[in-house]
């Protein structure tokens, strides 16, 4: 069940506690005056009087206090008042400001379904609270983030957050009030339901019912009653589930304007009737939930699969047009759900991914077209799809073939006999007569080339991260000479010269050293002289045409 309209109440209760701004006695005076009044217009008048006084005194803190109360009792100007609080306190570090104003604006965004913006504001509230050392607001902001996670399906992480918050309340009586406590119990019960911990869900639901009845908290009582119905459904007690869900639904319609809660009730009532074998009542409630979802576009991950039942019903009636309509609605709502969830949690799950839904839609379209003798579009679609699949297959086969050829070539080159030292010295002398004059004394070139061959032969390139200057210093020459000689006699620049040596060494080692193949790519990279796996993989592919992971996978054990 989606926990909505809950976080706004937290902020209101937060603002009505006596622990707000210790440094300002007139805040407590403002709280006490407002609490005495029963009519909102008189509360607004008191807050406005305090605001005018604070403005005359340039008292930023009390201006913020007054604006915040005005935002509570003048809903039409709520956003403007909260923005005023943020504007005058964003550079301050008061105990409760600007964290409370960020929190309250986040709640507004949440209620509008603007979840990404809500998350950003909750994060700001959390950061401001941490900066001012206000643990309570920090945990309330975190709790609201937990509500977002819960809504998006990240139940386990949300459950951890809720438990952290309820422990904070229970361990610090000065922060505890029954109103908050009831709602945390509801959030916990809801999370236990969705993490399938039915034993803890049962305990928490019973505790929540007891506490809400004791305090006459009819709002949360109705929510927990619905959660109890869902719990009974999961226990296969379908008749009890229907009873609790209908009672909860009736209570919710009296004071909660959130139609999504009603949709949740209808969904689980429908599921219960279906499992009892009453198809007619089941479809009736699924259709009621569908009507609400189409109207509000407020997608609840738990109940979006009503369309699986509705599509199956339409199919059983041979109504392909209605089946397609339900599928299109499911696709639209699933798209909205995905957009809302994408930045809220890194572990988002959904029943159907876009590709599966689109594929199902295409099948329904083809069925509909066959039944109405519109076959041309189907044939064109199949031809286009076949061409795409053939092109994809050709690309895949070609890539696989080229990788195989490159792999075999690499193995063949690796197995060729190594040139001995005497041949290397002979080649150096021949190179000196063939290469163009590079304005470096011949004896210097010969000396550096021999030292480079010695550097290569001893595999020094794999021992540390060389730069042009560090290698020149080691070879007792200067970087300008070394760079020219490598460019002319090795036909590559210095960076590629080192990379090529290391890749050849890596190929040789991976071919002969079986244990090295069990290393991670990062570890192999470090073994042959690279700083990280990315640079190693890039250099390996550049020289060989394949990646090291492919080479390791296909080399003989």
* Among 302, 269, 294, 264, CA closest to 283: 269
Closest Cα to residue 229, out of 70, 1, 34, 20? 1
What are 69's two structure tokens? 């109360």
Position 343 pLDDT exceeds 50: no
The segment(s) of the chain belonging to CATH 1.25.40.10 are 177-298
The whole-number pLDDT of residue 416 equals 64
Look at the block and give the residue holding tokens 């499992």: 275
Which residue has better confidence, 25 or 431? 431
Q: Residue 352's pLDDT is what?
A: 24
Q: What is the pLDDT of residues 352-368, one digit of tens each?
A: 233 334 444 455 556 66
Q: What CATH fold (topology level) applies to the domain 177-298? A: 1.25.40
pLDDT of residue 428: 54
d(CA 165, CA 157): 13
Confidence of residue 196 (pLDDT cuts 50, 70, 90): confident
Would you state the pLDDT for residue 17?
Answer: 47
The percent of residues above 70 in pLDDT, for the chain, comes to 80
Q: What is the pLDDT of residue 353?
A: 31
Give pLDDT, residue 142. 83
Q: Report the C-alpha gap between 256 and 5 in whole angstroms.
A: 9
Kindly tell me the burial class for residue 321, based on how many C-beta atoms sit within 10 Å of its own C-beta (0-12, 13-18, 19 or more): exposed
Fold of 1-172: 1.25.40
Q: What is the pLDDT of residue 557?
A: 61
- pTM, 2 dp: 0.52
User: How high is the pLDDT of residue 132?
Assistant: 87
Q: What is the pLDDT of residue 23?
A: 43
What is the C-alpha to C-alpha distance for residues 509 and 122, in angstroms, rounded to an integer? Answer: 53
Of 235, 224, 312, the C-alpha closest to 272 is 235
Q: Tokens 């509230």, residue?
A: 125
- Percent of the chain predicted with pLDDT > 90: 20
Q: What is the pLDDT of residue 374?
A: 58
d(CA 75, CA 69): 11
- Tens digits of residue pLDDT in 145-194: 888 877 777 778 888 888 888 888 878 766 666 777 888 899 899 889 88
Band (pLDDT 50/70/90 cuts) for residue 76 is confident
C-alpha distances out from residue 193 to 64, 204, 260, 261, 379, Å: 40, 10, 18, 16, 48
Select the more confidently predicted residue: 233 or 340.
Answer: 233
Q: Where in the chain is the domain with CATH 1.10.10.60?
A: 421-554
| Mean residue pLDDT across the chain | 80
User: Which of 38-47, 195-204, 384-393 reaches the highest mean pLDDT?
Assistant: 195-204
Residue from 134, 137, 159 nearest 146 by CA: 159
Higher-pLDDT residue of 311, 363 = 311
Q: Of 197, 285, 261, give the one whose Cα is nearest residue 235.
A: 197
Segments in 22-174 forming alpha helices (H): 25-36, 40-56, 60-73, 78-89, 99-111, 115-132, 135-152, 155-171
Would you say residue 6 has pLDDT above 60? no
Model confidence band, residue 12 (pLDDT cutoffs 50, 70, 90): very low
Collect all residues with Cβ–Cβ distance below 8 Å to 405 and sequence separation of at least 6.
none
Between 20 and 269, the more confident residue is 269
**Does residue 465 surpass a pLDDT of 80?**
no
Q: What is the pLDDT of residue 362?
A: 58
How far is the C-alpha of 464 from the C-alpha of 451, rounded, in Å? 17
Report the C-alpha dihedral over residues 412, 417, 426, 439, rounded to 10 degrees: 40
Q: Which two tokens stand for residue 376?
A: 């041309």
User: Could you tell me which CATH number the domain at 421-554 has?
Assistant: 1.10.10.60
pLDDT digits (tens, 9 = 90+) for 85-110: 899 999 888 888 899 899 989 888 88
- Residue 51 to residues 69, 103, 472: CA-CA distances in angstroms? 10, 21, 74
For residue 246, give the nearest of 285, 220, 217, 279 by alpha carbon: 285
Residue 281 has pLDDT above 90, yes or no: yes
């Amino acid at each position: 069940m989606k926990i909505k309209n809950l976080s706004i109440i937290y902020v209101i209760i937060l603002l009505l506690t006596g622990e707000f701004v210790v440094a300002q006695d007139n805040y407590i005076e403002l709280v006490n005056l407002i609490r005495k009044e029963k009519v909102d217009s008189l509360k607004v008048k008191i807050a406005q009087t305090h605001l005018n006084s604070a403005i005359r005194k340039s008292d930023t803190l009390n201006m913020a206090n007054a604006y915040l109360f005005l935002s509570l009792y003048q809903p039409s100007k709520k956003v403007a008042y909260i923005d005023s609080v943020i504007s005058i306190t964003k550079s301050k570090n008061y105990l409760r400001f600007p964290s409370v104003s960020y929190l309250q604006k986040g709640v507004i965004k949440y209620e509008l379904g603007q979840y990404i913006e809500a998350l950003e504001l909750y994060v700001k509230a959390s950061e401001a609270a941490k900066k001012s050392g206000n643990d309570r607001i920090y945990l309330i902001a975190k709790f609201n983030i937990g509500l977002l996670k819960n809504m998006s399906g990240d139940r386990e992480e949300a459950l951890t957050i809720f438990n952290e918050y309820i422990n904070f309340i229970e361990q610090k009586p000065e922060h505890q009030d029954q109103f908050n406590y009831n709602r945390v119990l509801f959030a916990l019960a809801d999370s236990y339901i969705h993490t399938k911990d039915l034993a803890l869900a049962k305990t928490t639901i019973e505790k929540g019912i007891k506490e809400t009845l004791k305090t006459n908290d009819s709002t949360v009582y109705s929510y927990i009653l619905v959660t109890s119905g869902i719990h009974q459904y999961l226990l296969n007690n379908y008749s009890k589930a229907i009873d609790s869900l209908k009672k909860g639904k009736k209570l919710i319609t009296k004071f909660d304007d959130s139609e999504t809660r009603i949709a949740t009730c209808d969904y689980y009532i429908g599921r219960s009737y279906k499992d009892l074998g009453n198809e007619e009542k089941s479809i009736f409630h699924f259709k009621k939930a569908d009507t609400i979802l189409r109207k509000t576009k407020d997608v609840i991950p738990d109940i979006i699969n009503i369309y699986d039942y509705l599509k199956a019903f339409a199919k059983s009636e041979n109504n392909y047009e209605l089946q397609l309509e339900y599928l299109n609605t499911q696709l639209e709502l699933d798209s909205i759900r995905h957009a809302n969830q994408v930045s809220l949690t890194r572990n988002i799950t959904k029943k159907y991914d876009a590709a599966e839904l689109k594929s199902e839609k295409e099948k329904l379209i083809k069925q509909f077209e066959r039944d109405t003798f519109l076959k041309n579009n189907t044939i064109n679609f199949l031809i286009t799809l076949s061409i795409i699949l053939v092109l994809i297959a050709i690309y895949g086969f070609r890539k696989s073939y080229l990788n195989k050829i490159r792999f075999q070539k690499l193995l063949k080159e690796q197995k060729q006999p190594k040139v001995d030292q005497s041949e290397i010295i002979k080649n150096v002398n021949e190179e000196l007569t063939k290469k163009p004059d590079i304005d470096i004394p011949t004896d210097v070139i010969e000396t550096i080339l021999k030292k480079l061959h010695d550097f290569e032969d001893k595999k020094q390139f794999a021992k540390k991260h060389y730069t042009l200057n560090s290698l020149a210093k080691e070879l007792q020459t200067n970087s300008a000479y070394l760079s020219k000689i490598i460019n002319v006699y090795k036909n590559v620049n210095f960076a590629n010269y080192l990379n090529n040596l290391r890749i050849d060494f890596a190929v040789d080692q991976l071919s002969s050293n079986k244990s090295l193949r069990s290393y991670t790519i990062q570890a192999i990279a470090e073994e042959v002289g690279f700083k990280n796996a990315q640079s190693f993989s890039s250099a390996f592919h550049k020289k060989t045409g394949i990646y090291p992971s492919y080479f390791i996978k296909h080399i003989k054990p």
